[in-house]
Amino acid sequence: MANMKDYSNKITPNWCPGCGHFSVLRALQVAAAKLDIPKEKLAVVSGIGCSGRLSGYMDSYSLHGIHGRSLPMAQGIKLANQDLTVVAAGGDGDGFAIGLSHTIHAIRRNINVTYIVLNNQVYGLTKGHTSPSSERGFQTKSTPVGAIDTPINPGMIAMANGITYYAQAFSAHQEQLIDVIIKGIEHQGFSMINVYSPCVTYNKTNTYQWFREHLVDLDTDKAYSSHDFQLAMNRLMELDGLCTGIVYQRKDIPSPYSQLSLGKTKLGEVNVDGLMEQFI
């Protein structure tokens, strides 16, 4: 049986002390250990941002790619080798700004990849300016009178575009974070996990304490069902997205790409007619 330390390389993370991302890294390592995924069968891909460093701390296949493009890389890796467990990671700027169209199309394609968004509602790496998930009124050096744009509601975007597994979690609630990652990896299709992961250096509004006061834990709500689309949409709207747990899951839509394995075919031997038949 694997141990979480098996997935940790010798590089010391250079995140600020107290950054929520430590918890996400640990949760992914624990989840991989609990699922007993051989290291050579795990690929972790990240975009750019403080969150992007996550792949570099994993002792697995890892790829620190380009801004907003963790999902195209992750999907390509999965299609090339269906035997791999593929996890993509990125921040709110990465996934909801420059990479938003990739997020939406990954949701539509439903390729069997797990996408973890480390959402701190700010651009941390580039020194604290507003991101698409920053709240209205959020003050930064670039928005001294407060952000004026409506923040993105990632859950509603995911739901509106046909997500088959959508969960949310909080860095300070490890048990639930590990649980939703495990279930996301086990899900046969695209799974997305939006993790509220506080930036202690540049976001002095959405702090650990703030999240403790505002997040509603769906796991404790006996009347909630993650299989009820309308209920999930209503809850996301009512709570401005501020909830944790599995928000929505459906298992009746198999990934249309699950039988495709380009990696087993040498370039030049690709049967284009077969592919066209499969997809058109």
Q: Which of 115, 202, 248, 257 binds ligand SF4 (CB under 6 A)?
A: 202
Give the range of 59-67, 90-98, 104-112, 187-195 binding Mg ion by CB under 5 A.
90-98
52 near Mg ion, rule: CB under 5 A: no
Q: How far apart are CA 233 and CA 104, in angstroms?
A: 17
End-to-end CA distance of the chain: 43
20 near Mg ion, rule: CB under 5 A: no
196 near ligand SF4, rule: CB under 6 A: no
Q: How far apart are CA 121 and CA 200, in angstroms?
A: 11
In degrees and rounded to multiples of 5, residue 29 shows phi and psi of -65, -40
21 near ligand SF4, rule: CB under 6 A: yes
Q: DSSP strand E in 1-159: where? A: 42-46, 61-64, 85-91, 114-119
Q: Build a one-symbol-per-residue string for 32-51: x at contacts with ligand SF4 by CB under 6 A, - elsewhere.
A: ------------------x-
201 near ligand SF4, rule: CB under 6 A: yes
Residue 181 interacts with, from ligand SF4, Mg ion, none (CB under 5-8 Å by kind):
none
Give the range of 13-21, 97-105, 142-150, 239-247 binding ligand SF4 by CB under 6 A.
13-21
2 near ligand SF4, rule: CB under 6 A: no
120 near Mg ion, rule: CB under 5 A: yes
Residue 92 interacts with, from Mg ion, ligand SF4, none (CB under 5-8 Å by kind):
Mg ion
Contact 181, 246 (CB under 8 A): no
3-class SS at 196? Answer: strand
Which tokens in the block code for residue 214?
């505002």
Which tokens in the block code for residue 252?
């009746």
Beta bridge partners of 194: 117, 168
Closest CA to 181 of 197, 171, 192, 172: 192
Nearest residue (CB) to ligand SF4, 50 versus 87: 50
Angle at 91 between CA 71 and CA 104, to 5 degrees: 40
242 near ligand SF4, rule: CB under 6 A: no
Q: Which of 185, 199, 243, 246 binds ligand SF4 (CB under 6 A)?
A: 199
Interacting residue ranges for ligand SF4, rule: CB under 6 A: 15-16, 19, 21, 50, 120, 124-125, 199-202
